[in-house]
Structure 1
Amino acid sequence: MSASVRRKLTTILAADADGYSRAMEADEVRAMAALQAARRVFAGLIERHHGRIANTAGDGLIAEFGSVVEAVQCAIEVQRELGADPDSALRFRIGVHLGDVMIDGDDLLGEGVNLAARLQAMAEPGGILISQQVYDQVQKKLSVGFEYLGERKPKNFEESVAVYGVTPPGAAPAKPAKGRSHQARAARPAARTAGAGELKPRIMRLLRVFGAIVAVLFAIDLATGGPMWAHWVALILATIAAYRAAPLMARGWLSVSDARLLVIIALLALINAFSWSGELWAIWPAAAIVLIALLGRLLARG
């Protein structure tokens, strides 16, 4: 490392235009004008939130902020302002990460920058993804929603990372609800989805409660004699717990939706086993579920 390179902990915002090459092919003048307009929006809001632009290569940019809250708030305002222009030819993806970086002159380098860029690449056009480190700092400080998307394995990273989506509050209705002011509605924080750190204890408590219920039911079942029935209740409760725990199962190759589909398929297989009559019928609805999921992904990509 050269003497001019130093390290520091900072918040990195990475942004990139979606479909810029296609927009250039369709209309170079319009695409360039849209990019320049977007850069002005980024520059103004980054400065307002006390950040600085470190790099503007191509149709993307890297910025840094001394405050995690300011970085996420800036990202929200950028997407809001860019999304308000229906004539814009470009939509941007944004990723935000808090990490250690190397500074060489005005440039930011290192794994922290790379992770912010990977989060950006995973975001939907017009969307914002943040890392666990950012979520931990902003979850109670911003009136927005956060959706835990599970653990993802960014390209060229050895380990998976927890990823959260940011959901800005929706636009307030033109007329406030009866008995409530516009200001009160706008100020109410949006509901937040529990993150991995919050979800795991909840699932463990749920399992303890369900376990106690199942134990009592099996005791009643055995005491009363007759055909066994408690295993059906146990199956229902186990399915509920597994479905709610799907975000904890998510990995780079397995999304939360995929995990929930696997729970449903497992439920079908267990119902088939518990009611076995010599026929493996669960394979057909399971195959249909997989086929529908694959078709949905293909249509979404198209």
Structure 2
Amino acid sequence: MDPPLIGTLTGVAFQFGECELDRDRFELTHRGQPVSLEPRAMQVLLHLIDARGRMVPKAELLDSIWGDRFVSESALSSQIKAIRRAIGDTGDAQRMVRTVHGQGYRFVAPVTEGAPHEAPPTPETGNELLPLWQPVVAVLPFTDLDPSSGRPQLGRGLRYDLIAALSKYRWLRVLTSAATAGLAGQADVIDRLRSELDVRYAVEGTLWLGGDHLRVSVNLTDTSTGVCLWADRFERRVERLFDVLDEIVSTVVATVEPEVGYAERTRSGALPRTDMQVWDTFHLGLHRFFQFTAEGNEDAQRMLSECRSRDPGFPDAHAWWAYATVLGMVYWGTDPVPDLLDEALAASRQALRKDEQNALFHVLYGRVQLARREYGPALTANERALELNPTFAAAYCGVGDSLCYEGRYREAMAHFRRSVALGSHDPQLWAFYTYGALALVFDKQFDEAIEWTRKASSIVNCQYWTTAHRAVALAHLGRVEEAECTARDLLAQCPQFSQAYADRKLFYLKRPEQRELYLEGLRSAQVPAGDPD
């Protein structure tokens, strides 16, 4: 009789060796502790356990797990290595997973079945499996193109600084330099990073220092495909070497993090829509969030809410649901009612209770506080985020918003400019420009506000508020015809937009002069008054 297909049994846990595998929760524990295992490796392990007692051909595993997608046998070998590491087996011992050379694999350890053991989460740690599924990033040694320079410490220092700065993004797992020491200089280093260390992304590069001239080249590689996701070259005149290196590190890290985020969302978005696990549901929710549409935001709120329900100990889901909800209030159809704002604040606090050192959680907490017109606490939250991660573009934007709504426009613009400088690859770059434009409108720097809206509108997914800010700035400059033309563009982008609509959506402003300045500009641009109700 053929073994049951994966997923046909429910409420079952398999015990073998010192491990327990909970099929329903897709969780593996070793000696009672959660163990990191990629979803595809987990599927391979389940298939082998279901088929225990017989040899499973490689072709069967490839067809069952990868389907129509073409992959080499080395991909399967990599998953087997990962499984053995996770369950306390080795390729030499083969106490649990045995290789039938040239044919396939057998699961040979004794297995018992029963109800899953409940490992009660503690209030501090909760379910810690999901963070172990986060993408792993490795920073490889930089190749000195002039090894005779006698300055090997330069490349080492650059690498260590990149590792330290990337590690401040708590959703990433960044390997230490010692973890990859044995792979330096190997021709197959990318393949070995993937197969031996489960690294999904690798940062590598070269440097050359001659006289007062420094050249650094950096690239980011997806180890599963070998595809370069991003590359750049930095050429600088060196007067203060460490200042130059700090600038390069800040720029590289502020670019690598959103590029990895985009790759993860793309990967999750390409997965089949059945039997998705929480981590992939979460990233699919972020994928919809970053489309910046009404439909995408609605889907994001729903998916992130699902993640919160399925894994209450997953702090990222709480924080991002709160932010998606607030953004829905500002841009789309979510009503900014007090109860929902209270729930968003509680969700963002719940994330912070899980990880107070996470700069992102402080930024998203600050976003909710801005929506609640609690500008002082929002400023504190974003400043704390910058203490934790000085390269975080969104935190600079959050400080800028907090200062802007308090009327401290010049200070705000310094932070908006920093957010734009660091956020060239951030999916919210258009928003950094747009929020900066609003501060310039409030400061009556209308010409510069128009320039910032022009830059924002050149970015894909830029939203209608950018056009509204431009119409207001043009109207206050007395460029009435241009303002009216821009207002028509605004109504094409957002047909329901009106003065009354803007008044409702600007609920996060508490200074009457800011709101009146904005509405006066809309009136002068001939934006319809709308229904005051």
State the TM-score, normalized to the length of structure 2. Answer: 0.20
Normalization by structure 1: what TM-score?
0.31
Give the structure with higher Rg (CA): 2
| Bigger proportion of residues as strand | 1
| Greater RCO structure (CA 8 Å; 6+ sep) | 1
